[in-house]
Amino acid sequence: MPYKKIYVESEAEDSDETIEPEPQTTNEIEEVLSPVKKKKPKGRPPKPLEEKLAKQTIVKEKIIYMIPNENGGYDKVKNKQLTARDIKKIEEEKKITEMEQQLGKKLLRKSNGKLDKRSVGERTRTPAQIEATKKMLAANEKRRAAQRELKDLKKENKTKEVVKEALNEVIYKPSKKVEPKPTPYDNLRF
């Protein structure tokens, strides 16, 4: 900051000195001299080159299982013995392949490898559900039949009333005499 000169007018000639400003503190100087802070880029930081290369390299290894033996040591076995769970999976796989051959199309499977029954096309309904559906259909049929009968009765009653009214008008009520229409010349004198 440039220095400011301040002149003070007074009676004494000695007081005509320049007044120097107070020296700046170090904090103000640091603020002026500090570099502009860069903003962090958005998103996840890029992975280092080593990590990228580690994913690309594929190492093929032979898996050798160490199975404990009777003496307390370990035996090297290349093929692991099948467990009951593995055998069950193999059987399910065979069933699915047989069904695929019978149907002639590839069947959908769940993430655990089991068959998704929606792809088979069979509805899996319990006997209780089937029985409930039969009861519902029977009840619907009865309700529709009752509605049809009620509708037929209403129609019959309505036609009977219409016929009775028509007969009453014809037989018991005298017909009105038809009056001739007046001609426009009746009230005129010539």
pLDDT at 16: 46
Residues 1-19 have pLDDT tens digits of 556 666 555 555 554 456 6
Is residue 94 one of the residues assigned to a domain? Answer: yes
- Residue 91 structural domain: 85-122
Is residue 14 one of the residues assigned to a domain? Answer: no
Per the structure, the count of domains in the chain is 2
Strand partners, 183: none
pLDDT at 140: 96
Span 90-110, mean pLDDT?
89
State how far the Cα of 107 lies from the Cα of 7, in Å rounded to an integer. Answer: 99
Regarding whether 111 and 91 lie in a shared domain, the answer is yes
Q: Which residue type occupies 135?
A: K
pLDDT at 182: 81
Residues 117-154 have pLDDT tens digits of 887 776 668 889 999 999 999 999 999 999 999 999 99
Q: Does residue 65 contact residue 78 with C-beta atoms inside 8 Å?
A: yes
Span 147-167, mean pLDDT?
92
Regarding whether 132 and 118 lie in a shared domain, the answer is no
Is residue 129 one of the residues assigned to a domain? Answer: yes
Q: Which of 62, 94, 59 is nearest to 79 (CA)?
A: 62
Three-state SS at 67: strand
